[in-house]
Structure 1
């Protein structure tokens, strides 16, 4: 299976198509229309966009068929089944590292004529995508039915936490074995004091005290690791809600509540089901009204500024210069001299 980027949330200025926007609504429509097979066929993978070598319309061969569209954070990916080993090898050896989508923003149904929203029609492998800062295409080595957990996307802190968990579990196992060995021994002269307890001055008594102190230390380390794991998981989920437009101020308010939730406080519902406090908060965030969500342009990181020589930037500079010369800019973009009312 191939995992190929379709796009990311953001805006770009295209020399031919003008302003290109990829929004959460567009990604949701693409995924929904893919599941419904709105275009009446499966979208496919091709090499590049150029159709000049095709002798007839529609003769472009499929290098792979898209089986699923999935969103991970701000990125939309296509999971595709290659039709030949060669295309998988080209992706694996990085002969093709990126991709460029072929899509319609508002597809018109060929049978009913109704508008269906954004649809993905094809995906072209290329090393010159117009969309910037996309992840690389890659080959998933496992069978198609496997659930993929991409270890490359695990952050440094999460890797460190996982390593600490392994070390702690190993130490706990060693400690348990030592205790079993100690308690399994026969009673000795220096093992018991006059009151029947291990002698504080004996070797066994000292070892037991050391093990008890180490046990308390391991338990505290284990609690810290669990807290760090919980914090990393909460931050990952909140970053997904940020990409969906939930105001950051609200997410900052719910973060301490989510971190404090241990899962022991369960809310009983009328239908007999139960929800934890965290489940209830996530359900409230999912139901947040679309009209109240933050637009991508307000977030600040997803939108790229216009290029210095873009038409928008040039027009803005021209407007400022004309205003300085005494002209007024009309609503249709024309310049009018204030005293003579002549159009420039």
Structure 2
């Protein structure tokens, strides 16, 4: 007899209820129970937990836990909270999230390619001036991070006609897309790109990666999109490069502190677009379907889904 699946989250109750409804619809044969409603006997039998901003004390209270399913693609906050003795953590790999992220990357790349930020600044000054048009084929986009999300974004940008390069810490191959790796590859991406898009996971190696030295390497007048994690970018260094007009515009969906504090200079800077972490929200229904497939594979053969390498952080 299989035990219940524990649902552990610190999100608002209405958000939790929405997640639970989708999970239960995708797995009608499973007993999915919020942690606080589990009896002591049930907690002893739980072998799977699905989590979103979980309390690590609650996770530790499940002694037979075999693996943890995150409802998000990023696990940078989850891993430190759970510690090195946590059971395997499976991050969300959802084709719908990849589609949504690639859509966002393409949309904001168009925003920069069509000079929409410049036209907004001109409108504020009551200035009527037409800027030269750049075709997508004249715009080089460098993608930092070639995982599921980065790969989907690279393909979508290339299909739209942009010149695309992708960078990752280890060598990746993607048909029709130029890829590079290592420090020399990162230097190339920063030096040659008109728009740099960051989709890297947050790890000890990527924290603070986009600092003053690397932002200085960017082509003068280039733009930056950060849709990954806030701490990868040193925000004060970005502001410095914007004031120097070395970077023309930054589209930021993630920040070191979220919500972005009202005193942050990013809010009021005319060359910054602030978004409230919305580039690729989890789709409850498709995420639940992914999780259901993982559970079925585990129930039928005991196979734990591909999980996070704790040494790499992704």
Question: Normalising TM by the smaller chain, what interval?
Answer: under 0.3
TM-score, reference length from structure 2: 0.21
TM-score normalised by length of structure 1:
0.20
